[in-house]
Amino acid sequence: MNDSKRMITVNGRWARVRTAGDESLPTVLLLHGITRSLEDWDPQFDSLAGQYHLVATDLPGYGWSAPHPDGAGLDALARGVGETLDALNITGPVHVVGNSLGGAVTMTLLAQRPDQVAAITLVDPAGFGKEVTPLLRVLGIPVLGRILATTASRPSAILQERLIFADKSFATRARIDHALAIARETEAGLTAWRTADLLGSIRHGIEQAWRDELHARIAKTPRPTLVLWGDRDRVLPPSHLSAARMLMPHAEGHLIPGVGHMPQLECAERFNELLTDFLDRNAATDLPRAASQ
């Protein structure tokens, strides 16, 4: 199956990637959320690598990838992802799957590279409402937010893991240890603070200005879209799914019962069924041109 997890050089910086599956198969790019890493897609690599060419990467500044020189905003994160595709010599159309912050990065990548993104799947994505867990809102508090984001501790790792799952048994010791290792060994906490500071505030939650701008940008290049949401998400509320359907009336939407912010982990079998059905019906090879500016 040629499953490989490794560090590569991307424009002079390190990027951590995992790839699996035959390169002749349709490419599926998997993007994680804030404070997270490519391990959030382990069940998909276990189950889907025989059907697709899977690619996951730690976003710039997250996991064990180096920060992007342009910063920690959406444009820089998406630019870094695109540069990683270039470094992997992936030029053809890709289906991009993004969870949480990764969903907003997915939409930004579509806006930046409409000639490369064939379809998108957004999993409990950021970008469809101002509401967000208070744990992320406090990152917008001057000084305190940075201290909280960059201070590694086991209690904070436990809290983070338990927050994202409806079934707390998924917050395993291994996942807690992994989150703590990222916090202690990397500067991902600093990147998370910088991203959160750019995208939201303690007063307003997730800011509307960048959301409106991003939706205007992707409206020029509509693509087949699947939106999945756990109905017990405590990070980004499932009511945001209605907003996503209004802003993207062409999108397919599914509310998944009994799961939280990480359906790709918490109900991997059902998630994979929905994803593969969508991929099979939208295995585009010819991309439509962008709308006139």
pLDDT in tens, 243-276: 999 999 999 999 999 999 999 999 999 999 999 9
Give me the phi and psi of 142, to 5 degrees please. -55, 140
Handedness of CA 188, 135, 111, 95 (dihedral sign): positive
Predicted confidence at residue 137, as pLDDT, reads 67
- Structure token digits, residue 120: 């998108």
Residue 175 contacts by C-beta under 8 Å, 6 or more apart in sequence? 161
Predicted confidence at residue 219, as pLDDT, reads 94
Which residues of the chain fall below pLDDT 70?
1, 134-144, 283-293
Q: Enter the pTM of the model.
A: 0.94
Which pLDDT tens digit goes with each residue over 1-44? 587 899 999 999 999 999 999 999 999 999 999 999 999 999 99
* Burial zone of 272 (CB within 10 Å; 0-12 exposed, 13-18 middle, 19+ buried): middle
Predicted confidence at residue 197, as pLDDT, reads 85
Predicted confidence at residue 140, as pLDDT, reads 67
Predicted confidence at residue 290, as pLDDT, reads 47
